[in-house]
């Protein structure tokens, strides 16, 4: 059964329009609060956000909803998504909430929920919350004397900074490293430069002047040009770029060349495998990860187990099968020895620990395998399951037949935007381009027919 409000990563949409309205946020607070009120203890929810203007709209609405059902609210202000997950566990809260649309522009916003264990909620629990939102909020209201209270946790950034620093190996520092960090004018604009500086690095911070509108705008992991240029200009050893809520990480080397999530996972997984720390016999990633990554791991005697797109599905598979390294090509990297969700800063520090150990530049450490040509294209549409249309399926089948065992095709709807995402991968770059053109043309043709 599909969900009405929740997508692949919480509820997301244009701020102050359905479903990202104050009314819906109020309902989410009441419904999620009732879902997690269990037992006789005083119940508590942690609410964090990124730097979008619309956070001022959604935060008080969510707070009112939780207070209305008798749950106390702890407000931590702009904080990375993984920080909220950590604080939810650390404070023994019953629920964690992040108000963020991650890598999307400022016009969008979203609501992500974490359970008391710091993990994102399952599809089933999200369906139960949706049912409460539509069918039973009145009966869940607390009596006047049982209303919740709201307070602010002033030392939340410091708690997270110290937690992240403790994940870096003892007796090692970042002395001698010059690092450019691009914080996307988002939730990590204070904590990320602080962590790196306190570990000894010379830090050049950009994307640290949020104004409510400029989150992810020409900066961060979705637009790395500014970071790459600054690395070259400053003669830095590397660049780090996070997205608006700092659960996603990309890097560049000293020349400004990019290192994506697949390569970053390789660095950590190979190091941990060598130390006997890697669990599960490999890495968990999504169907989007490069075939070159899978082949390289195979050469080490390790597996790459793939899931549907979305870091929550990666985490679910990791938990079920006992893996401790997983993530996405886009930069969500989950290291369950330290975190319950993607954490850009922890992933960056684990990568930096390998660089310190090897005393090698990123250009050498970060490129131990060659990517198989992979191209992706997004087709915007006005609705419907276009990828299931017969004409699109025929184009997909034709592409797979031509690629055989030396390539892959993936066509899927976005879980957060009205897009059909098309990916074609294979050893023959010219063939990949041609097949990508064929499939996207088929999707566009079907879309035009549906509109007319």
What residues act catalytically?
102
Q: Is the dihedral of CA 298, 400, 420, 385 positive or negative?
A: negative
CA–CA distances in Å: residue 351 to residues 174, 240, 262, 272, 292:
12, 11, 12, 11, 20
Distance CA 346, CA 335 (A): 8
- Collapsed DSSP state (helix, strand, coil) of residue 108: strand
Of the CA atoms within 13 Å of residue 452, those in its CB half-sphere come to 6
Rounding to the nearest 10 degrees, give the CA dihedral for residues 224, 227, 229, 232.
-130
Q: How far is CA 156 from the centre of its chain?
A: 21
CA–CA distance, 253 with 263 (Å, rounded to integer)? 12
Question: In the structure encoding, which two tokens stand for residue 93, read together?
Answer: 């809260």
CB 353 within 8 Å of CB 168: yes
Give the span between the Cα atoms of 151 and 191, in whole angstroms.
21
Q: Which residues of 339-366 are buried (b: 16+ CB within 10 A; e: fewer)?
A: bbbbbbbbbbbbbbbbbbeeeeebeebb
**Backbone dihedral angles phi then psi of residue 238, each to the nearest 5 degrees:** -170, 170
What is the distance between the alpha carbons of residues 160 and 88, in angstroms, rounded to a whole number? 11
Q: Give the sheet arrangement for strand 303-307, strand by strand.
A: 303-307, 282-286, 325-327, 333-335
Structure tokens at 348: 């960056």
Q: CB atoms < 10 A from the CB of 129, how many?
A: 24
DSSP annotation of 420 reads E
**Which residues have CB under 8 Å from 22's CB, separation 6+?**
16, 57, 58, 60, 61
Tell me if the bond preceding 19 is cis, omega within 30° of 0: yes
Distance CA 9, CA 332 (A): 12
């Amino acid at each position: 059964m599909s969900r009405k409000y929740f997508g692949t990563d919480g509820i997301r949409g244009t701020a102050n329009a359905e479903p990202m309205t104050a009314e819906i946020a109020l309902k989410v607070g009441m419904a999620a609060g009732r879902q997690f009120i269990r037992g006789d203890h005083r119940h508590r929810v942690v609410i964090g956000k990124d730097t979008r203007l619309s956070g001022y709209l959604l935060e008080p609405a969510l707070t009112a909803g939780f207070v209305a059902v008798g749950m106390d609210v702890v407000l931590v202000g702009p904080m990375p998504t993984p920080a909220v997950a950590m604080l939810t566990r650390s404070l023994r809260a019953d629920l964690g909430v992040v108000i963020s649309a991650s890598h999307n522009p400022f016009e969008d916003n979203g609501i992500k929920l974490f359970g008391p264990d710091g993990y994102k909620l399952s599809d089933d629990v999200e369906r139960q919350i949706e049912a409460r939102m539509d069918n039973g909020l009145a009966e869940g209201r607390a009596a006047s004397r049982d209303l919740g209270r709201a307070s602010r946790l002033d030392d939340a950034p410091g708690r997270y900074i110290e937690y992240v620093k403790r994940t870096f190996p003892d007796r090692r520092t970042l002395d001698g490293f010059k690092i450019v960090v691009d914080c996307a004018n988002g939730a990590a604009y204070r904590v990320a430069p602080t962590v790196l500086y306190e570990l000894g690095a010379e830090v050049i911070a950009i994307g640290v002047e949020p104004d409510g509108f400029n989150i992810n705008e020409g900066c961060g992991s979705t637009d790395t040009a500014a970071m790459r240029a600054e690395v070259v200009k400053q003669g830095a050893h590397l660049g780090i770029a996070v997205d608006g809520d700092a659960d996603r990480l990309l890097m560049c080397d000293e020349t400004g060349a990019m290192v994506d999530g697949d390569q970053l996972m390789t660095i950590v997984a190979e190091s941990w495998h060598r130390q006997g720390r890697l669990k599960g016999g490999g890495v968990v990633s999504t169907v989007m990860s490069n075939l070159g990554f899978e082949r390289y791991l195979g050469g080490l005697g390790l597996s790459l187990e793939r899931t549907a797109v979305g870091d929550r599905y990666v985490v679910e598979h990791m938990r079920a099968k006992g893996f401790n390294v997983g993530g996405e090509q886009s930069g969500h990297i989950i290291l369950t020895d330290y975190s319950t969700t993607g954490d850009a800063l922890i992933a960056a520090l684990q990568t930096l620990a390998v660089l310190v150990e090897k005393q090698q530049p990123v250009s050498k450490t970060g490129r131990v395998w060659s990517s198989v040509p992979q191209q992706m294209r997004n087709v915007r549409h006005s609705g419907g399951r276009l990828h299931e249309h017969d004409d699109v399926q025929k184009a997909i089948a034709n592409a797979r037949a031509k690629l055989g065992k030396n390539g892959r095709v993936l066509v899927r709807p976005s879980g957060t935007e009205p897009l059909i995402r098309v990916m074609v991968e294979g050893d023959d770059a010219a063939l990949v381009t041609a097949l990508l053109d064929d499939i996207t043309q088929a999707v566009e043709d079907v879309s035009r027919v549906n509109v007319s």
